[in-house]
A and B are shown apart, each in its own frame.
Chain A
Amino acid sequence: MNSFEDIQKNWLSQPVNDVVQPTEIQFVQNKWQKQQRKVLLANLAMSFGFLIALITIGWVFFAFRHQYRWPFEVSIAVIYCLLIIFLIVSWRSYGFKKESLEVSSVDFIHYQISKLHWQRKVLTTYVWIYCVLLWLALSLYTVEITRRASILFTLTALGITTAYLTGIALWSWFRKTKKQLRQIDEIIYDLKQLHDSLNKT
């Protein structure tokens, strides 16, 4: 093979099945149906969980609001807001799962990088803000509902709440988040390299 034309001729002559196997189409359709079912079930489970949480918190609020003062109302309102913010972030993350593959590669890489930066921001900033706000709301709630009990009881309740939230946050950071961040950084690096080499002459 001496010239590029020879290489190309050889390449195009390689044996490829002329007939599309029906199993290929079947595979694609089955995979799509399975994926759709999974998304539907996940959405239903998430919506159901949220509905239960909102109803329960709403019931606590209306059933006990006359017994407590403003910190009770504020803590419930903050927890409500946090649930709604969590829902918005989850939907935004879900929206990112829909890839726009029909754009040019350079635009696709841009989109992937912005998606990964968003995921990074969620893991490194928003999750911690969320945890601190949740801790404040729960602490306010605990202090208010244990107002008539002894200081030791209030402090113990606060200690348990704090230890529980800190434990969950640290477990998640060391078990999951650090690994996720490492993977995200690696992919961002690769995508930037790819982007630069595509644009470089």
Chain B
Amino acid sequence: MPNINQKQEAFFNELVKANHASILRICRAYLYEASQADDLYQEILYQIWKSIQSFKEQAKISTWIYRIAVNTAINFNLKNKRHQHQSMPDLFSMPYEETLSQKQEQEAKLDKLRYCISQLEAQDRLIISLVLENKSYKEIAEITGISMTNTGVKISRIKTRLLDLMENLKP
């Protein structure tokens, strides 16, 4: 019969397997620097492992995981304030985009998007990372603790700001 540790390990593996891509994308949206995003990802996995014993069956797994991810990101940012990105990267400033392969082009677009996200306020980066993960307004309100109405207003404002940044940042 599996003991508690084995059960916990199996549950953790299952959770990570199902959510690691979303968690990693949230980290990349929140922190522009890839190495910082990777550190945050490891920290989130660690916090999930630590909190797994207090997980209540009646709670919705995705809300539980995203709350841990978002709160860990808040903590991480407070401890690493120096890591805020300011300068514009060279990667997407490539003059001959038409000659690039599709993969490189997509990577350049993604980098531009990541850079634009990094220009948003910290709390807006967290919210937009959840929107990009296709979370509903209700779920985002539950994860952040903001009222539904306020969530809607914020998301619409952040989307507009992000589209503006994308539009105005020419490669």
Contact = CB atoms under 8 A, between A and B. Distances in A.
B25 A107 contact: no
A102 B58 CA distance: 13
Contacts of B67: 101-105, 108
Interface stretch (A65-73, A140-148, A191-199): A191-199
A8 interface: yes
B132 interface: yes
Contact of B132 (A11, A18, A197, A198): A11
Contacts, number: 126
Q: Is the interface of B mostly helix, strand, loop or mixed?
A: helix
B150 A101 contact: no
A16 B16 contact: no
Interface in B129-168: 131-134, 142-146, 149-150, 153-154, 159, 162-163, 166
B25 A11 contact: yes
Interface in A1-41: 1, 3-4, 7-8, 10-14, 16-18, 20, 24-25, 27-29, 31-32
Given A16-B25, A198-B123, A199-B150, A11 B110 contact: yes
Interface string B100-125: 00000010011001000000011100
Contact of B72 (A24, A32, A101): A101
A57 interface: no
B113 A10 contact: yes
B106 A107 contact: no
A198 B154 CA distance: 9
A16 B41 CA distance: 13
B21 interface: yes
Contacts of B21: 16-18
Contact of A197 (B13, B121, B145, B162): B121
Nearest to B110: A14
B40 interface: no
Contact of B64 (A25, A102, A190): A102
Interface of A: 1, 3-4, 7-8, 10-14, 16-18, 20, 24-25, 27-29, 31-32, 99, 101-109, 112, 187, 190-191, 194, 197-199, 201
Given A11-B29, A12-B25, A198-B144, 7 more contacts: A4-B162, A8-B131, A25-B16, A101-B68, A102-B55, A103-B145, A105-B126
Interface of B: 9, 12-13, 16-17, 20-21, 24-25, 28-29, 42, 45-47, 49-51, 54-55, 59, 64, 67-68, 70-72, 74-75, 78, 81, 106, 109-110, 113, 121-123, 126, 131-134, 142-146, 149-150, 153-154, 159, 162-163, 166
